């Protein structure tokens, strides 16, 4: 599949300026603390699987690595007996623990109602980058999301939902970085990856600063407990730009807007729990401008390695849910094809 470009005007600002603005504006964002989970049961199954309405279910899955039950929302196909594949869809910096999540802010339940796929959305992971932390943090403990997402959760999902065992993964903002790293770490687990409005560069000073700011604002946690101090080897290990060659063989979809106000940046279009219009335009504009720079850079990196990717640069648009809903829809044919190959 060739690199597909759909580009309009981009914000032309130095990367360091974009990231400096991002760090300053992140302080305006707040997150909700996680709720207490149920008593853990390590049996390799989903627990408390319950239908909420139509094709939407809730469940938990136990993580031995984190000694916790992790809440999940699951969109199931109408005919679950067919052995459907699975789309692991990750939330952003709020981890699904606040109102800024796929179910509250998009039409995901309706969109996937006629699709033959299980959509599994973890509702936890605030500010964690969905990775395995190397040290226990005094505020949030020791997140082990890579272990959970690549080992514990697929085992429970496949056993309990009787899936086909074929998977794709997608994420936006913070988790757009995460899904690329997860696919690099476990290339046989996923057939395709969708990264919406993310940044693959983690080992540069700009990348480190953004991640440090995101982690601290979300949790008051110390990012050195995640991958070590800046310059430590793990920052290079978990830099998808540097390790892009390991994405060869994956079906890839990358997207972003350019940070300028677009069709969803108007009064009355913000869903409950979403940022205000002012925050969406100012903070979301800076975030998406940075994501645009990162996405074009990652696309060029893949092109230099002759790794096929679908890249959609949508033009005017901020770091907000209306655009991510559009990208979820737009990316689905690409991900669906990956599940079928």
Q: Which residues contact 125 (CB under 8 A, 6 or more apart)?
A: 90, 91, 95, 96, 97, 143, 145, 175
Q: Residue 39 has what pLDDT?
A: 53
| pLDDT value, residue 6 | 37
- Cα–Cα distances in angstroms (integers) from residue 128 to residues 65, 95, 166, 173, 225, in the given order: 14, 8, 26, 12, 11
Residue 62 or 34, more confident: 62
Task: Give the pLDDT of residue 93.
Answer: 94
Per-residue model confidence as pLDDT tens digits over 242-260: 999 999 999 999 999 999 9
Ranges of each domain in the chain: 15-340
**Residue-averaged pLDDT of the chain:** 89
Q: Among the ranges 30-34, 41-45, 68-72, which has the highest mean pLDDT value? A: 68-72
**For range 167-187, the mean pLDDT:** 98
pLDDT value of position 228: 98
Alpha-carbon distance values, 253 to 20, 42, 191, 208, 341 (Å): 27, 35, 12, 24, 16
Lowest-pLDDT range of 35-39, 52-56, 97-101, 246-250: 35-39
Nearest by Cα to 244 from 193, 189, 168, 208: 193
CATH 3.40.250.10 given to domain 15-340 = no
Each residue of 73-115: pLDDT tens digit?
A: 999 998 876 799 999 999 999 999 988 899 999 999 999 999 9
How would you list the strands of the sheet with 68-75, edge to edge? 46-53, 56-63, 68-75, 118-122, 86-90, 167-172, 192-196, 251-256, 310-313
Q: Is the pLDDT of residue 26 over 70?
A: no
Which residues make Cβ contacts (< 8 Å) with residue 39, sequence separation at least 6? 69
H/E element holding 254?
Answer: strand 251-256
Model pLDDT, residue 94: 94
Q: What pLDDT was estimated at residue 82?
A: 76
With 0-12 / 13-18 / 19 or more C-beta atoms within 10 angstroms meaning exposed / middle / buried, residue 114 is exposed
pLDDT digits (tens, 9 = 90+) for 254-283: 999 999 999 999 998 877 777 789 888 999
């Amino acid at each position: 599949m060739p690199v597909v470009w759909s580009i309009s005007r981009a914000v032309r600002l130095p990367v360091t300026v974009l990231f400096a603005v991002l760090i300053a504006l992140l302080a305006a964002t707040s997150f909700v603390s996680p709720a207490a989970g149920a008593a853990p049961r390590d049996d390799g199954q989903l627990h408390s699987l319950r239908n909420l309405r139509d094709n939407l279910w809730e469940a938990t899955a136990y993580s031995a690595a984190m000694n916790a039950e992790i809440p999940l929302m699951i969109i199931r196909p109408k005919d679950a007996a067919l052995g459907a594949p699975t789309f692991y869809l990750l939330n952003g910096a709020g981890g699904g623990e606040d109102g800024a999540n796929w179910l509250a802010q998009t039409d995901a339940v309706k969109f996937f109602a006629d699709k033959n796929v299980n959509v599994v959305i973890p509702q936890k992971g605030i500010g964690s980058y969905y990775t395995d932390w190397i040290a226990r943090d005094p505020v949030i403990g020791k997140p082990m999301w890579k272990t959970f997402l690549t080992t514990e959760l697929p085992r429970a999902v496949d056993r309990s939902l009787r899936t086909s065992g074929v998977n794709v993964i997608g994420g936006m903002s913070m988790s757009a970085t995460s899904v690329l790293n997860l696919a690099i770490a476990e290339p046989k687990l996923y057939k395709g990856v969708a990264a919406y409005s993310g940044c693959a560069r983690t080992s540069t000073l700009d990348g480190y600063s953004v991640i440090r700011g995101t982690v601290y604002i979300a949790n008051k946690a110390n990012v050195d407990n995640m991958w070590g101090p800046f310059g430590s080897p793990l920052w290079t290990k978990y830099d998808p730009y540097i390790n892009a060659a390991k994405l060869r063989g994956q079906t890839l979809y990358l997207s972003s807007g350019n940070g300028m106000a677009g069709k969803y940046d108007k009064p009355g279009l913000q869903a409950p729990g979403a940022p205000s219009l002012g925050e969406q335009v100012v903070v979301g504009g800076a975030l998406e401008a940075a994501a645009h720079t990162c996405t074009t850079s990652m696309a060029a990196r893949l092109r230099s390695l002759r790794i096929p990717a679908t890249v959609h640069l949508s033009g005017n648009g901020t770091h907000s849910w209306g655009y991510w809903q559009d990208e979820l829809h737009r990316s689905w044919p690409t991900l669906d094809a990956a599940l079928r190959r």
